[in-house]
Amino acid sequence: MQQYNHVYLAPHYDDISLSCGGSIHRQTQAGETVLGVTMCAASPTSETFSAFAEFMHQSWGNPDEVVATRRAEDEASLKILGADAQRLGLLDCIYRGDPAAGIWYYNNDVELFGQIHPDDLPLASEIAAGLVELIPAKDGPTIYAPLTVGHHVDHQLAHLAAWQLHQQGYSILFYEDYPYADPNYPFTYHVGENRYNLAAALAAPRPGKLTPQLRPISEENLEAKIKSIRAYASQLDILFGGEAAMAKYVRQYALYVGEGGLAERVWLPA
């Protein structure tokens, strides 16, 4: 496998473009190599879905092939940023459970942004093992994983996997999960209150302390990020209420993080 300077772990198709698109574009424009690894990339084999999954499909425009549609969007997005793509074989959490018995682990937004189902906890070690197989050299690339702002269960699993890799000697940085990290983001999936904002994510128990690192980006990097997010057409309405609003919120958050300049932020574990 090609050696990469940077490897970004995305729980879903869209997470790294949303959270790190400016930095990725800056890195690739500087000649550095970037790989985006999508964790929940598998297509469900069951033809039976929960009411919640059906609702999500409807929110995404009811494409004939949900995962194939999102994968195509992801490929277009990463191409804009100049990054390569790799997939892991995990199902999105809305499909996990025992469909034959009519049991699904996550059936609403409260559960989606709540605690990891006990039967899902071993997945963190599976994710870490999958990344070790992809990236065997501990002195190789920097691996970026979600900080878990928003507390989405798949982001939590990715975060736990990253700490396992950190303890094995891998170079790890945590990115702020956008849009959940934005205090001005108008939508919430926490029943009226964002209980899992940036401060809550930073206060959560973890194996080590975190130190912020600001990553300045240029106007060109920001425009590439906005364009890369625009490629996820199925997600724009549910996340932002439309394309124009997305561009506005993404720019505003970059200025907010950079205190007047354009920037993204990552967190370095001790």
Is the pLDDT reported for residue 139 higher than 50?
yes
Pairing of strands 97-98, 103-104: antiparallel
pLDDT of the residue at 188:
57
Neighbours of 54 (CB within 10 A): 13
pLDDT of the residue at 194:
66
pLDDT in tens, 155-196: 999 999 999 999 999 999 999 999 999 998 877 554 456 678
Is the pLDDT reported for residue 135 higher than 70?
yes
Is the pLDDT reported for residue 33 higher than 80?
yes
pLDDT in tens, 191-242: 456 678 999 999 999 888 999 999 999 999 999 999 999 999 999 998 999 9
Is the pLDDT reported for residue 247 higher than 60?
yes
pLDDT of the residue at 69:
93
pLDDT of the residue at 191:
46
Domains in the chain with CATH codes: 6-269 (3.40.50.10320)
Kindly report the backbone phi and psi dihedral angles of residue 190, in degrees, each rounded to the nearest multiple of 5, phi listed first: -125, 40
CB 35 within 8 A of CB 88: no
Neighbours of 26 (CB within 10 A): 23
Is the pLDDT reported for residue 62 higher than 90?
no
Read off the pLDDT band of 153 (50, 70, 90): very high
CB 107 within 8 A of CB 153: no
pLDDT of the residue at 193:
62
Pairing of strands 6-10, 34-38: parallel
pLDDT of the residue at 2:
85
